[in-house]
Amino acid sequence: MGMREALTPSVFDQIITDSDSFWSDLNGNRPLTIKWGADPSAPDLHLGHAVALNQLARLQELGHRVIFLIGDFTAQIGDPTGTSVTRPSLSAEAVAAHATTYMDQVFTVLNPQKTTVVYNSTWLNQLTPVDMIQLCAKMTVSRMLERDDFAKRRAANTPIGIHEFLYPLLQGYDSVHLKNDVEVGGTDQLFNLLVGRQLQKDAGIPPQSVLTLPLLEGLDGHHKMSKSLNNHIPLRDHPNDMFGKCMRIPDALIHRYYQLVTRVPADALAAIQADLDGGANPRDHKRHLAHTIVSQFHGADAADAARDRFVHVFSDKGIPQDIPTHTMTHAQPLVAFLVDQGLAPSKKEARRLMDQGAVWVNDHPISDPHHELDPHPNTIIRVGKRRFLKLI
Cα 286 off chain centre by: 19
* 184: CB partners within 8 A, 6+ apart: 34, 35, 36, 52, 55, 56, 211, 212, 213
Q: What is the pLDDT of residue 81?
A: 57
DSSP 219-265: TTSSSBP-TTTT---BTTS-HHHHHHHHTTS-GGGHHHHHHHHS---
User: 71: closest CA among 8, 120, 23, 13?
Assistant: 120
Q: What is the pLDDT of residue 79?
A: 65
The alpha helices in 13-155, defined as continuous H runs, are 22-24, 47-61, 92-106, 121-124, 129-136, 141-144, 148-155
Which segment of 80-94, 186-200, 262-276, 328-342 scores lowest on mean pLDDT? 80-94
Residues 308-321 pLDDT 10s: 988 887 666 667 76
Which segment of 81-85, 197-201, 298-302, 354-358 scores lowest on mean pLDDT? 81-85
Mean predicted confidence (pLDDT) in 331-355: 90
Residues 92-109 pLDDT 10s: 777 777 778 888 888 989
* Higher-scoring residue by pLDDT: 181, 5: 181
Please work out, in degrees rounded to the nearest 5, the angle formed at the alpha carbon of residue 48 by the alpha carbons of 45 and 52.
95
| Percent of the chain residues topping a pLDDT of 90 | 47
Give yes or no for a contact between 16 and 209, defined as CB atoms under 8 angstroms apart: yes
Mean predicted confidence (pLDDT) in 224-228: 82
Q: What is the pLDDT of residue 279?
A: 87
User: 76: closest CA among 61, 87, 68, 63?
Assistant: 87
Q: What is the pLDDT of residue 158?
A: 87
Q: What is the pLDDT of residue 201?
A: 96
Rg over alpha carbons for the chain, rounded to the nearest Å, is 24
Mean predicted confidence (pLDDT) in 287-301: 94
Helical (H) or strand (E) element with 79:
none
* Higher-scoring residue by pLDDT: 86, 214: 214
3-state secondary structure of 187: helix
Is residue 154 pLDDT above 90, yes or no? no
d(CA 47, CA 226): 9
Q: What is the pLDDT of residue 320?
A: 72
Is residue 2 pLDDT above 60, yes or no? no
Q: What is the pLDDT of residue 72?
A: 87
Is residue 250 pLDDT above 80, yes or no? yes
Confidence of residue 66 (pLDDT cuts 50, 70, 90): very high
Q: What is the pLDDT of residue 102?
A: 85
Is residue 61 pLDDT above 90, yes or no? yes
Is residue 86 pLDDT above 60, yes or no? no
Q: Name the pairing type of β-strands 380-383 and 387-391.
A: antiparallel
Mean predicted confidence (pLDDT) in 126-140: 94
3-state secondary structure of 83: coil
Is residue 171 pLDDT above 50, yes or no? yes
Q: How many angstroms separate the most distant Cα atoms in the chain?
A: 77
Is residue 83 pLDDT above 60, yes or no? no
